[in-house]
Structure 1
Amino acid sequence: MLLQTEAHPANDTEAPRKPERCVIVVDEALPPGKASNAAAVVAFTLGQRHSHLVGAPLRERDGTTHPGLIPIGIPVLKATAHQLSELREKSLAHCDVVDFPVQGQATTDYDAFMNAVQALSGESLQYLAVGLVGTRNRIGKLVGGFSLFA
């Protein structure tokens, strides 16, 4: 995953601005298992970068608690490989972007993954998934033409 923008506040006293929308767009050509993996990898990194998006713990009547979940949801949309590259490029200046290059599913060795990405120039990278976090209006404009991954 290439981390494109810094999601953390400028200093420790500044509260993070709460984004209004979080989406993940996955290559529509991926089979279900690989698409699920790509979405999960991106979601995990988005959660780390935007921990304030996690809601309060869920409590059962008897007091049993469950970890908080994201209250704004995360639609998983689909796009062609070409559209993913275009979306990533258009999004960089407008929101936080977490992308997952195809090399990520070519190995289970993270060092090999990093080396494979490092051997390429940015314009030659292809993506399995792109995650976006930002304002509702901006994200809506960026992903408005994509449909749900099914």
Structure 2
Amino acid sequence: MLLHTKAIEADAQKVPPKLERCVIVVDEALPPGKASNAAAVVAFTLGQRHNRLVGAPLVERDGTAHPGLIPIGIPVLKASALQLRELRQKSLAQCDVVDFPVQGQVTTDYAMFLEAVEAHAGESLQYLAVGLVGPRNRVSKLVGGFSLFA
């Protein structure tokens, strides 16, 4: 389950994609497969929530078309579990946040995932990944200290 956090949708509607930034920050302790999964889950929801960030279809010389991709890129950065929690909290009032709680990789049953998250108070949740979309300067300031996930 990806928790919908406070989105600044009115601002997002007014800002052209080139002035926005999209970033995913993943728990640095995750092994590559789980980190990739967490980033993919967050990216999927970010794409659904911000479909204006999807670029024009890619067309080959012979006319074969491929779906459009995000033209502004999505850096995947790393942070500690504590830094992820703090980043999420600081970001709520600054940009749109999509977060992925640890319960998301404990089960493949979405109903059980919903129940597992519901059993926790918000401040006790831990996150595997946090995705941000918002004004370039705000998002850059929020993630400025993080390095690429490698």
TM over 0.5: yes
- Structure 1 residues 33-89: Cα deviation after superposition (integer angstroms, max 9, x where no partner): 000000000000000000000000000000000000000000000000000000000
In 2, Cα distance between equivalents of 1:7 and 1:128: 23
RMSD: 1.4
Q: CA deviation at 1:22?
A: 0.1
1:18 aligns with 2:19: no
Match of 2:66 in 1: 66
Distance 2:137 2:8 in 1: 18
Q: Secondary structure at the match of 2:93?
A: coil
- How much has 1:6 moved relative to structure 2? 3.9
In structure 2, relative to structure 1, the CA distance for the partners of 1:9 and 1:136 (3 Å cut) is: closer
1:100 aligns with 2:100: yes
Partner of 1:2: 3
| Matching of residues 20-35 of structure 1 within 5 Å | 20-35=20-35
User: 1 CA distance for matches of 2:71 and 2:88?
Assistant: 25
How far is 1:8 from its partner? 4.8
TM (norm. structure 2) is 0.93
Does the C-alpha gap of structure 1 residues 48 and 16 become closer, same or farther in structure 2, counting only changes over 3 Å?
Answer: farther
Contact 1:47 1:54 in 2 (8 A): yes
- 1:140 is aligned to 2:129: no
**Displacement after TM superposition at 1:115 (Å):** 0.4
Match of 2:131 in 1: 131
Corresponding residue number in structure 1 for 2:118 = 118
Taking every aligned residue pair, what percent have the same amino acid on both sides?
77
- Structure 1 or 2: larger helix share? 2
Per-residue deviation at 1:5?
2.5
**Does structure 2 conserve the Cα–Cα contact (< 8 Å) formed by 1:77 and 1:147?**
yes
Unmatched 5+ residue regions in structure 1? none
Structure 1 consecutive aligned stretches of length 4 or more whose deviation exceeds 2 Å: 5-10, 15-19
Residue 43 of structure 1 corresponds to which residue in structure 2?
43
CA distance in 2, matches of 1:144, 1:63: 41
Paired positions, count: 146
1:107 offset after TM fit, Å? 0.1
Provide the rounded CA distance (Å) in 2 between the counterparts of 1:141 and 1:27. Answer: 19
